[in-house]
Amino acid sequence: MIRICQKCGAKNKIPAKHLADVGKCGSCKAPLQAEAGPIEADPELFDEVLRDATVPVLVDFWAEWCGPCRMAAPELHALAEEMAGRALILKVNIDTHPELANRYRVQSIPNFVVLKNGKTMGQHAGLSPRSEMRRWLETA
């Protein structure tokens, strides 16, 4: 994943295992903060994060046409900011990547899967409040 340095604008490639870490810009050495937003995941990035992430991962299976999914989006963004450094949020568009949805037998959306060390810790269908999603991550 590419993270832009806030100080010098340099592009820094961040491996999945360091997305939740504070790092340094390869160019100016300024701090690069932990990932603090939902990450749009394709199959390659999805598999890399599941294989290498050192923190729990909440996956949001969603679609653009889904009203409840659009309602969950700002809550997921806020949760990602709140849990930066302690968890990662991935978003998987089921219309773009149906193979990922099939892998987790997603039959309704929004559908949330909590993973730790690549293993499913829980799966929840339907809209849930941020406090509940936070609890899922904290108990993973």
- The residue written with tokens 């991935």 in the block is 90
66 catalytic, yes or no? yes
| Identity at 109, one-letter amino acid code | I
69 catalytic, yes or no? yes
| Identity at 27, one-letter amino acid code | S
Other Cβ atoms closer than 10 A to 31: 11
Say how many residues make up the chain. 140
Going by C-beta distance under 8 Å and a sequence separation of 6 or more, which residues neighbour residue 78? 130
Here the tokens at position 48 are 């890399």
Q: Which residues are catalytic?
A: 66, 69
